[in-house]
Amino acid sequence: MGKRLELNENDHLILNADGSLSGEFGGAVTRGTWVVRDGFWCRELSAGPRGPSPEDCQLWAQEGSSINVTRDQGRGGSFVYEIS
């Protein structure tokens, strides 16, 4: 909680203990909510580079200071966050 999750130099998220998230992606302020449900990290964005976004439940696996993320309940595209 409260750590910066970096996708690259410009894109990042910060997850808060109250279930809110904030950050910046593609130069756009990103805000939303998150919850862990049924083993997935689920987020819904109220603001982001493409505007509001419906819920996406993702499979997260942490390895040291990296988090491997696979969208759409582990069936979609993947990327890696670095914890800073």
Q: Tens digits of per-residue pLDDT, 29-67? A: 999 999 999 999 999 999 999 899 999 999 999 999 999
What does the alpha-carbon distance between residue 78 and residue 3 come to, in Å, rounded to a whole number?
21
Q: For residue 57, which of 45, 32, 40 has the smallest C-alpha distance?
A: 40
State how far the alpha carbon of 17 is from the alpha carbons of 1, 32, 42, 54, 61, in Å: 6, 13, 14, 21, 19
Tokens of 26: 């593609």
Q: Tens digits of per-residue pLDDT, 12-32? A: 999 999 999 999 999 999 999
Q: For residue 37, which of 53, 60, 63, 16 has the smallest C-alpha distance?
A: 60
What does the alpha-carbon distance between residue 14 and residue 4 come to, in Å, rounded to a whole number?
5
Q: For residue 30, which of 2, 54, 51 has the smallest C-alpha distance?
A: 51
